[in-house]
A = this chain, B = another copy of it.
Amino acid sequence: MTASRRRASVDVLLPGRYEWYVKHFTNTRRVSDSTVRRLSLYLRYLEEFQRRGLKTVSSQELAHGTGTTPAQVRKDLSFFGSFGKRGLGYFVPELITKIRAILGLGREWRVLVLGAGRIGTALAGYPDFARQGFRVVALVDNDRSKIGGASGGVPVRDVADLERIVQQELIDIAIVATPAGAAQALVDRAVAAGVRAFLNFAPVKLDVPAEIALRNVNMALELEGLSFAMTSGRVLAV
């Protein structure tokens, strides 16, 4: 209490204290998941904006186009630097470059789809992935009648060769589009072979080591959210 707020001599890094320390004395601020999601939305909107030939954009416009508030836009961006010009706004091409760098979109990411069923094949040919630098290199399946074929230009290969494919094709990301029961075992093999990130469409909780990135997309869950909103008379716009 008597020491200055910025340098108390007996301050020890207790739980809670630690977070505070990180936040105030390092540049390793925790960026929330919601912030990252919004950055993607800003990027999408900026690209559209650029297509229309516009040069600068204000936090106001960006917020309106992505369903958030101007303060939120500025706060989100301020985690990563000062990209705007006061009185003017942000230069569209420059901000696109910055956000792409933040999101790690300056390179090509190599993607393998696990499961060549309806969802897997639909995702393999999804044009938005390629547009942002996610290149789907192959699908794998265990169905003999599918192996050797191709879907939207992407070859279907034998899941038995998973490890070899991951290593030869330098796979970064796997999209899990298998039945729920098969997912965890394949993910374990993929992790062991070197895949560092997973986008999971199977309706199961996947266990992965802490250093592996994982996101879940659960479509039935989204419909249930709509069902809840309609039933309870509330509205959930997310």
Contact = CB atoms under 8 A, between A and B. Distances in A.
A142 B84 CA distance: 43
A126 B219 contact: yes
Contacts of A211: 235
B228 A103 contact: yes
A40 B128 contact: no
A223 B129 contact: yes
Contact of A235 (B44, B210, B237): B210
A226 B195 CA distance: 12
Interface residues of A, number: 69
Contact of A213 (B33, B152, B226): B226
A10 to B, nearest CB: 31
Contacts of A224: 36, 39-40, 43, 103, 105, 132
Interface stretch (A86-94, A154-162, A163-171, A197-205): A197-205
Contacts of A227: 103-105, 109, 134, 197
A211 B236 CA distance: 9
A34 B105 CA distance: 28
A215 B238 contact: yes
A119 B126 contact: yes
A173 B223 CA distance: 9
Contacts of A111: 223
Contact of A215 (B41, B109, B226): B226
Contacts of A31: 232, 234
Interface string A169-204: 000110000000000000000000000111100010
A125 interface: yes
8 tightest Cβ-Cβ pairs between the two chains A and B: A104-B231, A213-B229, A118-B122, A122-B122, A197-B226, A40-B221, A104-B227, A128-B220
Interface of A: 31, 33, 36-37, 39-41, 43-45, 65-67, 102-105, 109, 111, 118-119, 121-123, 125-126, 128-129, 131-132, 134, 152, 172-173, 196-199, 203, 205, 208, 210-232, 234-238
Given A104-B227, A214-B238, 15 more contacts: A41-B221, A67-B205, A104-B230, A129-B219, A129-B223, A132-B220, A134-B227, A173-B226, A196-B230, A198-B226, A215-B225, A215-B226, A215-B237, A215-B238, A217-B217
